[in-house]
Amino acid sequence: MGIIEASNKTFDINVPVLVIGAGACGCCAALAAHDAGAEVMILERDETPSGSTSLSGGQVPGAASHLQIKAGVNDPPDILANDLIKKAKNQNDPEMARHIAGESGTTINWLSEQHNIPFSVQNIFLYPGHSEQHMHVTPELSGGELITCLLNAVSAKDIDVVVSAHVTDLFADADGRVVGVQITRPDQTLETIGCQALILACNGYGGSPEMLERYMPEVAKIHYHGHVGNQGDAVNWGIELGASVSDMGSYQGFGAVVTPLMIHLTWASITEGGFQVNKDGVRFSHENQGYSEQARKVLSQEDGIAWTIMDQRVQDVAMRLQTQRDAFELGGIKHAENIQELADITGCDLDTLTTTLNGVAAMTRGEEDDPFGRDFSTHPALSAPYYVAKVTGALFHTQGGLDVDLNGRVLREDSTPLPNLFAGGGAARGLSGPSDWGYLSGSGLMMATTLGRLAGRKAGESIEG
Ligand SMILES: Cc1cc2nc3c(=O)[nH]c(=O)nc-3n(C[C@H](O)[C@H](O)[C@H](O)COP(=O)(O)OP(=O)(O)OC[C@H]3O[C@@H](n4cnc5c(N)ncnc54)[C@H](O)[C@@H]3O)c2cc1C
């Protein structure tokens, strides 16, 4: 795997714009390159495209979209940009955050109006750090449905998606211009494809234990819940070509993956008033600061687990999302008629659990302050019957990546762009700053869809003739 120096190479075939990866970023990049008039092809290592996009909750932020305006949601881009910058404590790239927020509504309009993605505004609950209803979803509220819709849109434009096509090497000239790629087929045969522009849409390095150990050793051994085929190829090729990378220790975690099923709860289980206790039946954190940083808080408890406690009202809201339904149907979320049953299921001491529940109820009534700083007063106290799930913390996706300009052009160490290399989605540096606490819900798919669209458009426009 790497860069092969080549300037006058002939290829098996030539396609002006090549996209590596058929997730949300690759699909959006290919659609935009096609819309710009270029011939484009997607290369995907898996037999069936899925990526982390298919595992996701499928929630895509967009500011001032036509759908929001129609739904009466007043969400100018400044609000989304400020949410992104505030969540990352001013340690992300504010220019990129403002740019992506500013373009995000156009992306939603473009996908829904020109490419028939059946988006609507998600008005069920607000994610931590969201000051407005930024999220757009497809009817089932699932990433599986989102990637199916995107692939249908790609197919409707007759864009080729070549599957079982693992890109293993890039051919580049001495100036860093990529002239083609080499793919390895499952039977180990090699094929080469020449290109004039290359878009890296093959996500980050969550699937590479070696890169996790190098860049984020503190979470290298925890459960990785994203797509295992994301092996850091974009970053490694980029570095070899002289690209600069940033925030390589940054990641999105998640503090409520049901164990041992390994299906994640939706965060509505927390935002609507649910909370977490450890094995002793005691709360240990402000659960609603963000699901990413919650992963480490859960993992620091005994055996690295916690119990997420909900009631019927919370569970009803959360069940609107596919992964909650999956977890419930497979028995990962249990029903408890009363506190005694809750204690039986969790193994927590009844008196301690009762004290914890009473304490939270007092906080919802404003009679007590939460020692962890959470405001419980926005929702009613939980009441029997309850729902409870045993959860652990996990790594969802890496947030460091290639530095790119506002059109997704990959930048060298000196900030000049490489001649014809683009990156978006998880392949590019995210908007989360340097650590795990900076991830604003939805910024993953926003970087995939919006940066993918911008990179695809620019790559398409760069094709001569
Ligand atoms: C469980 C989970 C839930 C999430 N929920 C949300 C959410 O609700 N909202 C949100 O905004 N974000 C969410 N995210 C993050 C979001 O899924 C990602 O940010 C987004 O999917 C990244 O899109 P992508 O196109 O860059 O990568 P992917 O969707 O992972 O696509 C990359 C593709 O590249 C392919 N590939 C990799 N290397 C090669 C190679 N060498 N050759 C050929 N193909 C290759 C892979 O097989 C893959 O298909 C979630 C993530 C997880 C794991």
Angle at alpha carbon of residue 172, lines to 167 and 193, rounded to 5° = 45
Q: Which of 143-147, 207-211, 461-465 has the lowest mean pLDDT?
A: 461-465
Taking the centre of ligand 1 as the mean of its atom positions, its distance from the CA of residue 335, in whole angstroms, is 33
pLDDT of residue 247: 98
Phi, psi of 445 (to 5 degrees): -70, -25
Question: Which residue has its alpha carbon closest to ligand 1 atom 50?
Answer: 56
Of the pLDDT bands very low, low, confident and very high (cuts 50, 70, 90), residue 17 is very high
Check if 440 has its Cβ closer than 6 Å to any atom of ligand 1.
Answer: no
**Ligand 1 pocket test target in 397, 431, 450 with most atoms within 8 Å of CB:** 397
144 alpha carbon – ligand 1 mean position (Å):
11
Identify the pLDDT of residue 82. 98
Those residues whose C-beta lies under 8 Å from the C-beta of residue 187, and which sit 6 or more positions away, are: none
Q: Residue 38's CB: how many other CB atoms inside 10 A?
A: 21
* Mean pLDDT (the chain, rounded): 97
Percentage, residues of the chain above pLDDT 90? 99
Domain ranges in the chain are 2-247+400-461, 251-395
CB contact at 8 A, 172 and 179: yes
Q: Which residue, judged by its Cα, is nearest atom 3 of ligand 1?
A: 56
Contact between residue 63 and residue 134 where contact means Cβ atoms under 8 Å apart: yes
Written as one letter, the residue type at 448 is A
> How many degrees, rounded to 5, is the angle at CA 242 between CA 240 and CA 245?
90
Asked if 98 and 450 count as a contact pair (C-beta separation under 8 A), the reply is no
Query: What is the rounded CA–CA span in Å between residue 228 and residue 58?
Result: 18
Q: What is the DSSP string of 113-144?
A: IIS----EE--S-PPTT-SS--EEE-TT--HH
Atom of ligand 1 nearest to the CA of 58: 8
Q: With a cut of 80, say whether residue 9 has pLDDT above it.
A: yes
Q: Which two tokens stand for residue 229?
A: 């085929």
- pLDDT, residue 8, reads 85
Assess contact for 314 and 256: CB atoms under 8 A: no
Whether 267 contacts 127, CB under 8 Å: yes
Q: Is the pLDDT of residue 212 over 80?
A: yes
Model confidence at 199: pLDDT above 90: yes
Residue 7: pLDDT above 90? no
Contact 137, 320 (CB under 8 A): no
Q: What is the CA radius of gyration of the chain?
A: 23
Can you tell me the distance from the alpha carbon of 43 to that of 166, in angstroms, rounded to the nearest whole number?
Answer: 7
Handedness of CA 237, 240, 244, 249 (dihedral sign): positive
Tokens of 463: 């094709």
Rounded average pLDDT over 218-223: 95
Asked whether 444 lines ligand 1 (CB < 6 A), one says yes
Decide if pLDDT at 241 tops 80: yes
Architecture of domain 251-395: Alpha-Beta Complex (3.90)
CATH topology of domain 2-247+400-461: FAD/NAD(P)-binding domain (3.50.50)
CB atoms under 10 Å from CB of 118, counted, come to: 13
Q: Is the dihedral of CA 426, 130, 453, 44 positive or negative?
A: positive
Residue type, 228: V
User: Ligand 1 atom 2: the closest Cα is on which residue?
Assistant: 56
423 lines ligand 1 (CB under 6 A): no
Tracing tokens 């939270």 back to the chain, one arrives at 360
Q: How far is the CA of 341 from the centre of ligand 1 (A)?
A: 39
Q: Is 226 in the pocket of ligand 1 (CB under 6 A)?
A: yes
Share of the chain above pLDDT 70, in %: 100
Instruction: Specify the residue with its C-alpha closest to ligand 1, atom 39.
Output: 202
Q: Which residue's alpha carbon is nearest to atom 18 within ligand 1?
A: 444
CA of 399 to the centre of ligand 1 (A): 11
Does 2-247+400-461 match 251-395 in CATH topology? no
Q: What mean pLDDT comes out for the span 65-74? A: 98
pLDDT computed for residue 52 by the predictor: 98
Return the SS3 of 202: coil
- Helices 350-364 and 339-346, packing angle to 10 deg: 120
- Average the pLDDT over 138-151 and give the result: 96
pLDDT value at residue 464? 81
Q: Model confidence at 263, in pLDDT bands (50, 70, 90)?
A: very high
Is the model's pLDDT at 465 over the cut of 80? no
How close is the Cα of 24 to the center of ligand 1, in Å? 7
pLDDT in tens, 365-397: 999 999 999 999 999 999 999 999 999 999 999
Q: Strand 197-200 and strand 417-423: pairing?
A: parallel
Q: What is the mean pLDDT of residues 255-273?
A: 97
Instruction: List the residue whose alpha carbon is closest to atom 5 of ligand 1.
Output: 56
Using a 6 Å cutoff on CB, does residue 204 contact ligand 1?
no
Cβ of 202 closer than 6 Å to ligand 1, yes or no, is: yes
Q: How far is the CA of 282 from the centre of ligand 1 (A)?
A: 35
Q: What is the mean pLDDT of residues 112-128?
A: 96
Q: Is the CB of 417 under 6 A from ligand 1?
A: no
What would the mean pLDDT of 269-290 be, rounded to a whole number?
97
- The whole-number average pLDDT for the span 56-76 is 97
- pLDDT tens digit string along 322-360? 899 999 999 999 999 999 999 999 999 999 999 999 999
